[in-house]
Amino acid sequence: MNKALRLRVARYQAVALLLLLLSTFPLWSQRAANLYAIKNAKIYTLAGPPIERGVVVIRDGKIAAVGTDIAVPEGAQVIDAAGLEVYPGMFDPVTQIGLNEVGEVSATVDTNELGDFNPELIAATAVNPASAHIPVTRASGITEVISAPGVGGFDSQSSGIIAGQASAFNLAGWTMEEMQINPSVAMVLNWPSIQTSSFDFSTLSMKEKPYEDAKKEYDKAVNQLSDWLTRARHYAQAKEKGSPDLFVRDLKLEALVPVVEGKLPVLVVADQARDIRNAIDFCTKQNIKMILASGAESWKVKDVLKEKKIPVVLGPSERLPEQEDTAYDKPMTQPSELNAAGIQFAFSSFGTSFSRRLPQYAGTAVGYGLSHDEALKAVMLNAAQIFGLADQLGTIESGKLANLIVTTGDPLEIQTEVRYLFIKGQLTSTDNRHKDLYQQYRKRPAPAR
């Protein structure tokens, strides 16, 4: 061949090679989709002092590296977070997200099953991954939640005594299989209370009951609860050591076995001091692990909570005091009181549509005395610790799940926006129903006159 021809062939070969390389580009971006680097950011790891300017590397769903002297790996999607801050995603540990879409429309609500004792029910079974609440909530920086059946909230009543198992999941994924963190993190126990007045639906008024009668009903409920646990113990023994021929499977008792074996905590929902004390008494006698949820009057029983090392998942700190004579600011000062007493606690919303207020609840508590650091932990880390998920979540440390938020500032402040959202190491859009409707109607032309 002559020189001119060889040159042309080489050019064609180069183009072909280029085309070949280009054709593999989709493969490049696939690899790149699992690899991110957030650089130039102020990083609040919650595992040490904040890093003024650092890098976080995310690979295959996990935090691969975090620090100051970290090289941005090749092929990583880079996010320049100059002027922004990086935090672990927030964790709302008591919600009904996915179980409750529109409160008044019962067809969309799966929180409350019939019957008082439903230990075998698991929230994750009924969570709707397509719930509009999921994109709305995560846009505010909440990356994972626990959904609990039967706990009650803004637009639902609590129901049942043992309402079922609460499930932890990430707020991103096409199916529960993709979202799931742990389908069973706690057994919901609505502590029965002595009800001297109740709402009578046939007359739509409050009906009074003598204390003695109400106490009897309460005792009965507690005895029933006790019976269930006793039977669960027998069941566990029978299952483990008994003859298979004589063994009859019981889903409800089976579900209680981890509880009586101390492996699955009970999430006890109680607000009044007497109920909390009674519940603690009960759990101590039964030798089961207790987490207190809601806990409006925890401050009255600090001594016992501390002594028995019972963690508290507080309901919204923005609520009215339980009693008329309680200090007006008690719900807001309680978190700092518990903190000062060395009681482990986390914030929660007990809601669906109000889950995005989680940072607001924490921020309010800071205004009334809780330290900012503790408040951050109480919305990002403590819930993970309380529910046994701290190996996966809660801090920005290598090896943990990459649930992170990149914000325009202090995540507890109202005006702060989440610029970038990482769930399970995927950059997740903050678009949601509300943003969509906003943009849609912003574009509405002026109506004809």
Partner 1 sequence: MKVRLLLALILFVTFAPLGLRAQGYSTQTSNAILIQNATILTITHGNIEHGSILIRDGKIAAVGTEVKASDGATVIDAQGQYVMPGIIDCHSHIAVDGSVNEGSISVSSMANIADVLNPDDISIYDDLSGGVTTANILHGSANPIGGQTIVIKLRWGKPASELPFQGALPGIKFALGENPKRSNFSPPPGVEPRYPATRMGVEETIREAFIEAREYKKQWDDYNRKKAAGDQNLLPPRRNEKLEPLVEVMEGKRYVHAHSYRADEILMLIRVANEFGFKVRTFQHVLEGYKIADEIAASGAGGSTFSDWWAYKMEAFDAIPYNAALMTERGVVVSVNSDDAEEARHLNQEAAKSMKYGGLSANDALKLVTLNPAIQLGIDNRVGSIEVGKDADLAIFNRDPLSVYAVVQKTLIDGQVYFDREKDIAARPALEKEKQDLLAKEKKASEEKKASEKPDANPEKKPDQKKKHPQNSEDNAGAVAEGGR
Partner 2 sequence: MRDRFKFRPVCAVVVGLSIAGLIGSVFSARGDRSGPPYFAVVNARIVTGSGPVIDRGTVVIAKGLIQAVGANLTVPPEAWVIDGKGLTVYPGLIDAGTDLGLPKEESSETTSTGPGRRRAAPSGEIAKSPEDRPGSSPWRVAADELKSDDKRIETWRNAGFTTTLSVPDGGIFPGQATVIDLAGDRSGDYVVKGMASLPISFKPIGAWWGFPDSLMGTIAYVRQVFDDSHWYAQAEPIYESNVTKFERLPYDRTERVIARGVRDNEIVLLPANNSVQIMRALRLADEWKIKAVLYGGQQGYQVAGAIAAKKMPVLVNLKWPERAKDADPDAEQTLRELRFRDRAPSSPAALAKAGVKIAFYSGGLSTPKDIFKNAKKAVDAGLPPDAALRAFTVDAAEILGLGDRMGSIAQGKIANLMVTDGDLFNEKTKVKHVFVDGRWFEVHEEPPAEKPGDHKADSAPSSQPKHSASEEGVGR
Q: Which residues bind partner 1 (CB under 8 A)?
A: 101-105, 132-133, 154-155, 201-204, 318-320, 324-325, 327-329, 352-354, 356-357, 359-360, 363-364, 366-368, 412-417, 433-434, 437-438, 441-442, 444, 446-447
In this chain, which of 212, 248, 444, 445 binds partner 2, going by CB under 8 A? 212
In this chain, which of 77, 180, 184, 196 binds partner 2, going by CB under 8 A? 196
| 113/322 with CB nearer partner 2 | 322
| Residue 390 within binding range of partner 2, rule CB under 8 A | no
- Integer Cα distance of 34 and 58 in angstroms: 7
Least gap, CB of 414 to partner 1 (angstroms): 4
| 141/258 with CB nearer partner 1 | 141
In this chain, which of 68, 198, 323, 398 binds partner 2, going by CB under 8 A? 323
| 200/329 with CB nearer partner 2 | 200
- Residue carrying structure tokens 């006793």: 230
Using DSSP, state whether 279 is helix, strand or coil: helix
Comparing C-alpha atoms, which of 149, 186, 382 is closest to residue 288?
A: 186
- Integer Cα distance of 269 and 186 in angstroms: 12
394, 381 contact by CB (below 8 A): yes
Q: How many residues does the chain have?
A: 449
What is the contact mask toward partner 2 in residues 235 to 264, using x (rule: CB under 8 A)? ------------------------------
Helix (H), strand (E) at residue 198: strand 197-200
| 119/192 with CB nearer partner 2 | 192
DSSP assignment string, 1-64 = --HHHHHHHHHHHHHHHHHHHHHTHHHHHHHHHTEEEEEEEEE--SSSSPEEEEEEEEETTEEE
Site for partner 2 in 274-293 (CB under 8 A): 274
| 177/212 with CB nearer partner 2 | 212
Least gap, CB of 210 to partner 2 (angstroms): 3
Dihedral sign from CA coordinates of 243, 247, 251, 252: negative
- Residue carrying structure tokens 């006890």: 268
DSSP assignment string, 328-385 = TTHHHHHHHHHHHTT--EEE--SBSTTGGGHHHHHHHHHHTT--HHHHHHHHHTHHHH
In this chain, which of 32, 70, 72, 214 binds partner 2, going by CB under 8 A? 214
Comparing C-alpha atoms, which of 257, 188, 203, 262 is closest to residue 228?
A: 257
Least gap, CB of 220 to partner 2 (angstroms): 17
Least gap, CB of 413 to partner 1 (angstroms): 6
Least gap, CB of 203 to partner 2 (angstroms): 5
Least gap, CB of 194 to partner 2 (angstroms): 6
108, 100 contact by CB (below 8 A): yes
What's CA 226's distance to the chain center, in Å?
Answer: 29
Site for partner 2 in 324-383 (CB under 8 A): 324-325
250 interacts with, out of partner 2, partner 1, none, CB within 5 to 8 A per kind: none
In this structure, how many other beta carbons lie within 10 angstroms of the beta carbon of residue 349? 26
238, 230 contact by CB (below 8 A): no
| 59/274 with CB nearer partner 2 | 274
210 interacts with, out of partner 1, partner 2, none, CB within 5 to 8 A per kind: partner 2
Find the part of the chain contacting partner 2 (CB under 8 A) among 177-185, 236-244, 318-326, 416-424. 318-326
| 175/203 with CB nearer partner 1 | 203
| 345/354 with CB nearer partner 1 | 354
| Residue 20 within binding range of partner 2, rule CB under 8 A | no
CA 400 to each of CA 75, 86, 373, 391: distance values in angstroms, whole numbers, following the listed order: 21, 15, 20, 7
Least gap, CB of 328 to partner 1 (angstroms): 5
Residue 398 tokens, joined: 């290598």
| Residue 204 within binding range of partner 2, rule CB under 8 A | yes
Find the part of the chain contacting partner 2 (CB under 8 A) among 127-135, 261-269, 303-311, 320-328. 320-328
Find the part of the chain contacting partner 2 (CB under 8 A) among 29-37, 49-57, 199-207, 349-357. 199-207
| 120/322 with CB nearer partner 2 | 322
What's CA 344's distance to the chain center, in Å?
Answer: 16
- Integer Cα distance of 246 and 54 in angstroms: 62
323 interacts with, out of partner 1, partner 2, none, CB within 5 to 8 A per kind: partner 2
- Integer Cα distance of 345 and 386 in angstroms: 8
| Residue 205 within binding range of partner 2, rule CB under 8 A | yes
Q: What are phi and psi of 427, to 5 degrees?
A: -70, 115
Residue 129 tokens, joined: 């991954």
- Residues forming contacts to partner 2 in the complex (CB under 8 A) are 194, 196, 203-205, 208, 210-212, 214, 274, 323-325
